[in-house]
Amino acid sequence: MEGLNILVILAIAVVVTLYKGIKIVPQGEEWIVEKLGKFSRTLQPGLNLIIPFIEDIRQRISTRDIIMDIPQQEVITKDNAVIRTNAVAFVRVTNPKDALYGVEDFKLAITNLIMTTLRSIIGEMKLDEALSNREMIKARLKEAIIDDVADWGVTVKSVEIQDINPSGSMQDSMERQAAAERERRAIETTAEGNKNAAILEAQGKLEAAKLEAEAQVALAQASASALEMIADATEGKELSAMFLLGDRYINSLENMSKSPNSKFVVYPADIQATIKGMLGSVFNK
């Protein structure tokens, strides 16, 4: 009976030893093995054997691409504008030993490195440059961190800037500034239109005044010619002047009678005497 117990114990020990000594590493991972607390080797995907109770699996490291979401942060630009930005990084562990022993937590280290470098890059740029040069920021960011993460056994595949936008208060300021700029342009456009209209109106009045003056001159010349013709026909200057005066007087009364606001036309009391005087002077001569 005692011998049977010993055989059972030995069988259990063999099974446990085999279980602890046989390791199957899945594809996409590499396992770090320590021997008595010291780095021993790295197990590749597939079937592997270790020395039970002497060697132990310290860490399982993924060798697939790792997606790291970089938290959003506020950054101050060169012209003291506040913007919010975040990023996403794609990295791969190429040296599991350095990733485990080179830094305490390589994911946290890369996250903080990207955030710090991103603040430094944007801090050297003005707001308009930061908002319009996303590709340049991405290239500079990857170039700045690639050497540092290489010391941790990690390769940076890509770094993408997800969002880069002004902060809420900055957006309100920009909207107010844009509204003020639009209003200023509208006022300038209205003022320019009013100025052009005033210029055109003044030019029109000037042209009208010129035409009126030319008409008056032409009328005066015509009247003078008429007076000369009457004077030549009557052989007297006085009668010609009285004739012209009477003609204009009658025309004025006629225009008054045609006015829509005129209800009555009042003729002077001496109009008949005036006409008789003019005709009498003609007959006397």
Q: Considering the domain boundaries, does residue 108 fall inside one?
A: yes
pLDDT class for 140, splitting at 50, 70, 90? very high
Give me the pLDDT at residue 202, please. Answer: 84
CATH code of the domain in which 141 resides: 3.30.479.30
E runs forming strands in 7-134: 22-25, 29-35, 38-43, 46-49, 55-62, 66-76, 82-93
Give me the pLDDT at residue 145, please. Answer: 92
Cα–Cα distance, 106 to 93 (Å, whole number): 10
Clarify whether residues 156 and 82 are in a common domain: yes
Q: Looking at the whole model, is its pTM more than 0.85?
A: no
Amino acid letter, residue 150: A
Q: Considering the domain boundaries, does residue 199 fall inside one?
A: no
Give me the pLDDT at residue 282, please. Answer: 47
User: 40: domain range?
Assistant: 19-61
Cα–Cα distance, 268 to 257 (Å, whole number): 14
Kindly state the average pLDDT of the residues 242-246.
59
Kindly state the average pLDDT of the residues 161-188.
75
Q: Considering the domain boundaries, does residue 4 fall inside one?
A: no
Cα–Cα distance, 230 to 240 (Å, whole number): 6
| DSSP bridge pairs for 110 | none
Kindly state the average pLDDT of the residues 204-216.
81
Encoding tokens for residue 147? Answer: 């050497």
Residue from 228, 87, 81 nearest 167 by CA: 81
| 191-195, 235-239, 242-246, 279-283: segment of lowest average pLDDT | 279-283
User: How many folded domains does the chain comprise?
Assistant: 3
pLDDT for 5-44, tens place per residue? 777 787 787 777 777 888 899 999 999 999 988 999 999 9
Selected residue with higher pLDDT from 160 and 285? 160
